[in-house]
Amino acid sequence: MTRKAGLTSSQATPTMTMITTGTNTMGMIMPIITMTAVAAGMIITNTIMHMTMITIIIRTARSRGTSHTATNIIVTRRQPPRRRWTTIPTRTRMITPITSTSTARAVVAGTTISMAETAEFQRQQWFSPAFPVGGYAYSHGIEKAVETGDIRDAASLASWIADVLRLGSGRSDAIILGEAWRRTGDLSGEVQLARLRELAEFGLALGLSRERRLETAQQGAAFYQLVRTAWPDVDLPPLGDELLPYPVAVGIAGRVHGQPLLPLTTAYLQAFASNLIAAGLRLAVIGQSEAQVRLAALLPVIRTIAAEAEGANLESLGGMAFRSDLMSIRHETQITRLFRS
């Protein structure tokens, strides 16, 4: 066979391989170049359109005789719209201070409040946990009863408090409160002061332990001072420096401010029971929900005691809550404790 002059087959093979390889490389590069060109074309197009808009804006501004530049106009266009704050007129509610609820009605923002409504508001404020008489610091011997095992759960706590209300300090305080209420209204002048001081000394003597006397005296003094500050009245006897048992202070203030005796005594006993329930809550013998259930169940006991105390006098005093009194005495030497009584 006659060969053609020129490149041999062995010499032609590398050349063909190079051509093939170059073709594949160009095939891979061309899409990238195409995409780059398209992107560049889009950028150029947007730039031209943007410059066109700027030119239009400049021409418009010049035709209107303004000196705003395109840059300023664009910046202004890009700023967020300003919020327009509207001033809303407010109504000021003026409260007229109550100087004497026994002779006047409270007027709040032009609305007349009756004496009955004022009395109810007073009771809610006086016996609210927010009224700082310091009741949270006293357990009335419950802390020691928990340590000894006399109180161990919600049922035993509720039973303990019911006995204290019926046979112990609850009933005695209700009777003394009523006596203070009557002496404040029936007497006046030096005779009134002398009889009230005598009742205060008697009420302190009923505290069978040092901590019980501290409990009633400190709460009574705090309550009376707060009433004189928040609910001032010229008829309040000047007993600010006296040792006033809590029920005596409540009875005096209640009578001066026109509080009916029965609702006043009921509110006092409810606050007393609520404070003892709260002590059990802090001592972890009862839960929050169960505490409210047990307190609501004590309402019939509270109502009965308040109704009996309304017509009772000092000769009706008496009690049988020996275990509660004993726990109060033993609490004085308790090493680890949360409460002052």
Locate all alpha helices (DSSP H) within 150-241, ordered by sequence: 154-167, 169-186, 189-205, 210-230
Domain ranges of the chain: 13-74, 115-333
* Half-sphere exposure for 327 (CA within 13 Å, toward CB): 25
Q: pLDDT class for 314, splitting at 50, 70, 90?
A: very high
Is the pLDDT at 221 greater than 90? The verdict is: yes
CA 270/CA 177 separation, integer angstroms: 14
Question: Which residues make Cβ contacts (< 8 Å) with residue 132, sequence separation at least 6?
Answer: 222, 226
Per-residue pLDDT, 126? 96
Please choose, from the candidates 196, 176, 338, the residue with its C-alpha nearest in 3D space to the C-alpha of residue 269. Answer: 176
- The H or E element spanning position 111 is strand 111-113
Report the pLDDT value the prediction gives residue 280, as an integer from 0 to 100: 97
Task: Tell me the per-residue pLDDT of 69-124, one tens digit each, with 9 for 90 and over.
Answer: 444 444 444 455 555 544 444 444 443 444 444 434 444 444 566 777 888 999 99
| Distance, CA of 16 to CA of 9 (rounded, Å) | 10
131-182 per-position pLDDT tens digit: 999 999 999 999 999 999 999 999 999 999 999 999 999 999 999 999 999 9
Dist. CA 323–CA 331, nearest whole Å: 12
CA–CA distance, 99 with 117 (Å, rounded to integer):
16
Single-letter code of the amino acid located at 58: I
Per-residue pLDDT tens digits for 174-218: 999 999 999 999 888 899 999 999 999 999 999 989 999 999 999
CB 338 within 8 A of CB 143: yes
CATH 2.20.25.90 fits 115-333, yes or no: no
Rounded Cα distance between 5 and 15, Å, is 17
pLDDT digits over 3-56, tens only?
444 444 444 444 444 434 444 444 555 555 555 554 555 555 555 555 544 444
The pair of structure tokens assigned to 60 is 């418009």
DSSP state, residue 220: H
311 pLDDT higher than 70: yes
What is the model's pTM? 0.69
Residue ranges of alpha helices (H) inside the chain are 9-63, 70-78, 115-126, 142-148, 154-167, 169-186, 189-205, 210-230, 246-256, 261-282, 288-297, 299-310, 322-330
